[in-house]
Amino acid sequence: MSVLIKNGRIVTAAEDYVADLYIENGKISAIGANLAYKADKVIDATGKLVFPGGIDPHVHLDMPFMGTYSSDDYETGTRAALFGGTTTVIDFILQTQGDSLKNALTTWQEKSIGKAVGDYSYHMAVTDFNDDVAKEVVEFIEKEGITSFKTFMAYKGALMIDDGQMVQLMKVVKKHGGLVTVHATNGDMIDSLIAKNLSEGNTAPLFHYLSQPEVTEAEASARFTDMLHYTGCTGYIVHMTCEGALNAVQRAGLRNQKIFVETCPQYLLVDASVYENNFEGAKWVMSPPIREKKDQKALWAGLQQGLVNTIGTDHCPFTWEQKQMGRNDFSKIPNGHPAIEHRLELIYSEGVRKGRISLNKFVEVTATNSAKIFGMYPQKGTLAVGSDADVVIFDPEKEHIISKDSHHMNVDYSSYEGWKVTGKTETVLLRGQIAIEDGKCHLKPGSGQFVKRGKTSYII
Ligand code: URP
Ligand code: ZN
Ligand code: ZN
């Protein structure tokens, strides 16, 4: 199948020009003015933006967590992602403590193969490090194309590893050219604040926020950067929320470290007043919690300065019924919220339209940098001859309203219910196939492919 996209405004992390784009056999095969190729399908993109399919480096699909499972599986989650212009997601495999990485990989392959609609890859979450796991880490990097290893400095008893395990993991990962990623919050401090709040009868979602003050994230982020410095490993901090944590990364820069940082739309766009509204705040119970306006300011500045490299979603949806598990105890509210579908539209509308970031920066932080950091570039994350034809045709002027009634995520509320945004994903191609057109998904479960990743590129 061949596709010719005519007259679009082609935007990559580095370029911005009007041209035609020709696609053959799933790859971009030519880009230029007035291309005279015959194609099976011609799309007129006059007045539209044409940019690379988004890459969401942080999603949780069908994930067992806090006594339940995130409500989007590989089919519903990757389809919703496509509707929003995200063609590739990186999900997290969770090692069960006491079990092998290989068994966890098998479990996640059963969740994804034959079900994913869009492309996907996995980070491997190491929750129990020992000599056997060290050997598996090497195999994952060298053979499986899974080159990033997630660690948790919180969620003790379920996911957290201690600093000794962290350092040992970093040494192995460094030796083989991988990357250690981290949920950087101080689990022990948080657990003691949760216990104190509950013992005083403070059970509302507000106390989820008050049990994870900024220092818990700033301290853990600094500790992580110190361990990276000691081991020489490359690191990536997921879902950064606050000024204190960003300052820790800036300080690491003073001793010549380069640490990659991800933030999420919710930390850029929403502030902690969402927790004031009694149990409604459960919609925003996630870890780390939503922070202050001064933190939003720091994160936008961090994006502009190149300190913050990617915007993921940390999509981890739970239905309103699932959120009721914590009706009388905030610590039992499953942590996470739905976001996979609206990342590009929110960041375009609130970031680009409002002059906070440029269009090139938008592409860089929603696609290109994730492809580079996680070893998928230039197959993914750009529009170039030879790259996968993952393409978004985006109407920059179209106004619409985000709502649970129109979204495609398997969850019965939208965190952004009623938000008016400008800019809409119109047509999406996945490896040259029409994925989204005229408000419909044209791909079936099983269309999504696993993306085997290379070692950290160190390009940025
Ligand atoms: O609240 C969150 N973020 N839930 C998903 C798990 C994690 O910590 O990323
Ligand atoms: Zn996390
Ligand atoms: Zn997460």
Instruction: Calculate how far, in angstroms, residue 314's C-alpha sits from the geometric centre of ligand 3.
Output: 4
Instruction: Calculate how far, in angstroms, residue 34's C-alpha sits from the geometric centre of ligand 2.
Output: 47
* Six-digit token string for 137: 């880490």
Q: Note the ligand closest to the C-alpha atom of 336.
A: 1
Q: Note the ligand closest to the C-alpha atom of 313.
A: 3
pLDDT band at 457 (very low <50, low <70, confident <90, very high): low
Report the predicted TM-score, pTM, of the whole model to 2 decimal places. Answer: 0.98
CA-nearest residue for atom 7, ligand 1, is: 287
Mean pLDDT across the chain, nearest whole number?
Answer: 97
Q: Which residues line ligand 1 (CB under 6 A)?
A: 60, 183, 286-287, 314, 316, 335-336
Q: 160-204 pLDDT, tens per residue?
A: 999 999 999 999 999 999 999 999 999 999 999 999 999 999 999
Instruction: Calculate how far, in angstroms, residue 179's C-alpha sits from the geometric centre of ligand 3.
Output: 16
In whole angstroms, what is the distance from residue 54 CA to residue 368 CA? 8
pLDDT band at 279 (very low <50, low <70, confident <90, very high): very high
Please report the atom of ligand 1 found closest to the CA of residue 155. 8
The CA distances from residue 425 to 52, 72, 397, 400, 454, in Å, are 12, 21, 11, 11, 29
CA-nearest residue for atom 8, ligand 1, is: 287
Burial class (CB in 10 A: 0-12, 13-18, 19+), 321: exposed
* pLDDT(444) > 60: yes
Contact predicate 350/269, CB 8 Å: yes
DSSP, collapsed to helix, strand or coil, labels residue 268 as: helix
Choosing from 156, 316, 337 the residue with most ligand 1 atoms within 8 A of its CB, the one to mutate for a pocket test is 316
In whole angstroms, what is the distance from residue 110 CA to residue 88 CA? 18
E strand or H helix at 16, and its extent? strand 16-24
Please report the atom of ligand 1 found closest to the CA of residue 287. 1
Contact predicate 363/51, CB 8 Å: yes
Q: Note the ligand closest to the C-alpha atom of 240.
A: 2
pLDDT recorded at residue 277: 80
pLDDT band at 456 (very low <50, low <70, confident <90, very high): confident
Contact predicate 413/283, CB 8 Å: yes
Contact predicate 78/118, CB 8 Å: yes
In whole angstroms, what is the distance from residue 278 CA to residue 387 CA? 48
Instruction: Calculate how far, in angstroms, residue 419's C-alpha sits from the geometric centre of ligand 2.
Output: 25
pLDDT band at 458 (very low <50, low <70, confident <90, very high): low
* pLDDT(40) > 80: yes
Of residues 53, 121, 113, the one with CA closest to residue 90: 121
DSSP, collapsed to helix, strand or coil, labels residue 91 as: strand
Choosing from 94, 286, 331 the residue with most ligand 1 atoms within 8 A of its CB, the one to mutate for a pocket test is 286
Instruction: Calculate how far, in angstroms, residue 440's C-alpha sits from the geometric centre of ligand 3.
Output: 28
Q: 213-227 pLDDT, tens per residue?
A: 999 999 999 999 999
DSSP, collapsed to helix, strand or coil, labels residue 197 as: helix
Instruction: Give the percent of the chain with pLDDT over 90.
Output: 98
59: which strand partners?
91, 315
